[in-house]
Every structure is written in C-alpha cells, then in structure tokens.
Amino acid sequence: MKKLTIFLLTILCANTIFAQSPPAWLDLQQRKTEYPNNAFFTGFASDEILAGENQNTAIARVTELAQGYVAENVRVEVNVATEHRATSKKTEETEAFNSIFEKTVKTIAKIELTGLTTENYVAGNTIYVFAFVNKYELKGNYSAIFNMNMQQLESILHTAKQLEATGDKAKARTQYEAAVPVLAKVEQAQDVLSALGGANLQSEKTANYRSDIILALARLAQGIYIYVENNEDLFGQKVDIVAHKVKAVLAANGCSFTENEEHADFTLRISVTTRASDNPGTIVFCYTDTAIELYDNHKQKIMYSDEIAQKGGSNSLEKAGRQAMSDTATKISEKLLPWIK
C-alpha cells in the first residue's frame, strides 16, 4: 500500500511539472505591456479544433491567421507611407509605364517579415496563437534589402545609359525594363522603412530614377530598330566595313540596332564580295559587288533592294578593296535613309 501511494504521488508530481502553463500573452493587457506597439507588430488568433481536424493541422491554420494579422498591421502602416509617396511624386507617368509598374508591384507586394516569431497554446479543444516581429529587426532587414536593390538598380541604369549612348537602343530598352521590378523593390523597402521611422531614405534619388526610366522607355519606344544580316568577303577575309559604316550613318539619323530579329522593325541584308581588276600601273584596282535588301518585318515585304558594283584603287589589293567597300557603304546609306525615316 505504501509503494502504491508513492507511485501515485510520483505520477501526480510528473503531471504537475510537465503541464503546459497558460502563457502571459493570453492576456490582452499583458501583450500590450510586453509587446508595445512602438517596438512590435503583433497578431493574436484563436479557434477551436474543427470536426475531423487533427491538432497539428488546427495549429497550422490558426498560426496562419495570427501571422496574417501581423502582415496586415505592417501593410496598413506601409500603405500610409506608399500613399504619401504616390501623392508627392512630381513626375508625369505614361499609361504604358503605369501598366508595367502596377503589374510588377503586385508580384512583389508581399512584405518579407524576417524575424517573425509564433507561439501557440492548446487548452482543451481550443488553439491560441500569438505572432510578433520586432520592428527594429524588421528595419534592419529592410535596410539591407534597400541597399542591395539600390546598388542593383544603379548598375542596371548605368548599363542602360551606356547602351543607349552607343546606339544599341534595343538592349538599352531591355535594361530599362529590367530596372522596373528592381525600382519597385527599392520603393517598397523605402515604404516599409518609412513606416518604421527610417531616415535617409534617398526618396529624391529614387524619384529621379523613376523619372529617368519613364522618359527612357517613352523615348526608346519611338525609335526604329534594325536587325542586320551581314556577309562581307575581302579576298577571303571576313570583315564588316560596309555594315559598320552604314550602321553609323543610320544611328546618326535616329535608327537603333538589335541582335534579335523579332524585335526589329526592319531587317537589312548586306552581301559583299571582292574581285581584282586589271592593274596596268602601280595603282592596284578592284571591284566590290554588293547586294542589299531592306525587309519590313511588319509589312512582311521587301521595301528596297539593289546591286552595286564599286571600283576602288590603292597601292595594295586589300586597301583597294577596303576603299571600294567604304564608298559602297556611303551609297547604301544614301539609298536607305528615305525608306526608314
């Protein structure tokens, strides 16, 4: 009988030691005291275990609710910052850019709540979950996100401006379009940091970047894009003398070039061969035979084609060929400009 009594007391003590005590956060006032609004975003949810639902599934469901409340609290504050930025913008945005930007923003609208902590408590058939994230920890996370994306944005814009300056507007446009989602991430990070009381958010700089992208996309959308197929043979040597000079003239007249034919308004095909001529004296002469074709990719028809034979002379066959090719390029450029303007 004595042994049985000791055994029952042992079980009773074990149950007392390992029983789950109600956490302090079950009390609303305690939550406000230990997790004040100035330092935390919080979310509390409770629900009963549904019929046919196991405990783990119920905990996961209620946890998702509590985390959703945290995210909603963050979103409300961030929306205030976002609305302030939206109404204070000084740039006029084109409808096309607005469409691209709004679509992009929706894909990255979810706030990254790094450091989100959840605790749960089960009492009978009821699940309680408390979720919270420290504002200072969230601020540190978004400072890193802001800096990383700002560096990426500036790198993309630098590349885009270089490409546009050299006349490769198709690649430049691709770069500017790639900058849109990065800018969205930068502005989102700015909004989160603003909601958290962040300083030095470089708002004026990002507003200028946004304006740069808007203007660049509008500017590049109006250019003529040409895809060049080139085959130049200088006495067995592959060169691009004609294509290089023709592209320079066309670029100076507002044309751009792309390496993707699907993005081009026109396809320009250039084929050049060289042949030696009679050389009665010390000056060496040769001819270049050039076939050109300008194809309108939208109308799907040849707009212009021609064959040009050009004589060139110099003190060597190669130099004579190069001279003939250069003169040919001048003629081609003059013939093409009326068709592409």
Identify the CA nearest to 242 among candidates 329, 175, 181: 329
Domain co-membership, 296 together with 282: yes
Looking at 175, 199, 222, the residue that finishes a domain is 222
Q: How far apart are CA 33 and CA 30, in angstroms?
A: 5
To the nearest whole percent, how much of the chain has pLDDT over 90? Answer: 47
Residue 11 has what pLDDT?
38
Indicate which CATH number applies to the domain containing 268.
3.30.160.150
Q: Over the stretch 120-143, which tens digit does the pLDDT of each residue have?
A: 999 999 999 999 999 999 888 889
Place of tokens 């849109």: 180
Identify the domain containing residue 50 by its residue range: 24-222
Per-residue pLDDT at 269: 96
The pLDDT, as a whole number, for residue 272 is: 95
Residues 211 and 246 in one domain: no
| Percent of the chain whose pLDDT exceeds 70 | 82
Q: Are residues 34 and 55 in the same domain?
A: yes
Q: How far apart are CA 56 and CA 180, in angstroms?
A: 42
Residues 139 and 169 in one domain: yes
Q: Is the pLDDT of residue 167 over 90?
A: no
80 within some domain: yes
pLDDT at 20: 65
Which of 172, 200, 222 marks a domain boundary? 222
Is 252 among the domain residues?
yes
Q: Residues 263, 203: one domain?
A: no
How many Cα atoms are found within 13 Å in the side-chain-facing hemisphere of 108? Answer: 16
Same domain, 152 and 129: yes
Whether 238 is in a domain gets the answer: yes
What confidence category does residue 199 fall into, taking pLDDT thresholds of 50, 70 and 90?
low
Q: Does 12 map to a domain?
A: no
Q: Which residue has the tokens 């300056």?
A: 165
Of the segments 194-203, 215-224, 240-249, 273-282, which one has the largest average pLDDT value? 240-249
**Residues 81, 215 within the same domain:** yes
Q: Is residue 274 part of a domain?
A: yes
Whole-number Å distance between alpha carbons of 31 and 42: 9
Residue 141 and residue 112 in contact, taking contact as beta carbons nearer than 8 Å: yes
Q: Are residues 234 and 172 in the same domain?
A: no
End-to-end CA distance of the chain: 109
Residue 298 has pLDDT above 60, yes or no: yes
Mean pLDDT score of the chain:
83
* The pLDDT value given to residue 81: 61
**pLDDT tens profile 257-271:** 888 888 788 999 999
Confirm if 41 and 70 have CB atoms less than 8 A apart.
Answer: yes
**Domain for residue 2, yes or no?**
no
Residue 5's pLDDT is what? 44
Q: What is the pLDDT of residue 259?
A: 85
**What's the confidence (pLDDT) of residue 47?**
94
Of 195, 222, 249, the residue at which a domain comes to its end is: 222
The listed range with the strongest mean pLDDT (41-50, 106-115, 164-173) is 41-50
Shared-domain flag, residues 52 and 114? yes
Q: Based on the domain organization, do 85 and 210 belong to the same domain?
A: yes
pLDDT number for residue 265: 85
HEC profile of the chain: CHHHHHHHHHHHHHHHHHCCCCCHHHCHHHHHHHCCCCCEEEEEEEEECCCCCCHHHHHHHHHHHHHHHHHHHHHHHHHHHHHHHHHHCCCCCCHHHHHHHHHHHHHCCCCCCCCCEEEEEEECCEEEEEEEEEHHHHHHHHHHHHHHHHHHHHHHHHHHHHHHHCCCHHHHHHHHHHHHHHHHHHHHHHHHHHHCCCCCCCHHHHHHHHHHHHHHHHHHCCCEEEEEEEEEEECCEEECHHHHHHHHHHHHCCEEECCCHHHCCEEEEEEEEEEECCCCCCCEEEEEEEEEEEEECCCCEEEEEEEEEEEEEECCHHHHHHHHHHHHHHHHHHHHHHHHC
Q: Picking from 64-78, 87-101, 181-195, 309-323, which range would have the lowest pLDDT averaged per residue?
A: 87-101
Domain count, the chain: 2
What is the band of 220 on the pLDDT scale with cuts at 50, 70, 90? confident
Q: Which of 12-26, 54-68, 238-252, 279-293 has the lowest mean pLDDT?
A: 12-26
Residue 169 confidence class, pLDDT cut points 50, 70, 90:
confident
Q: Which residue has the higher pLDDT, 77 or 116?
A: 116
Q: How high is the pLDDT of residue 19?
A: 46
Residues 192 and 330 in one domain: no
> Has residue 13 been placed in a domain?
no
Confidence of residue 113 (pLDDT cuts 50, 70, 90): confident
Same domain, 203 and 290: no
Kindly state whether residue 52 falls inside one of the protein's structural domains: yes
| Mean pLDDT (whole number) for 194-206 | 79
Residue with tokens 């093409």: 336
Read off the pTM.
Answer: 0.57
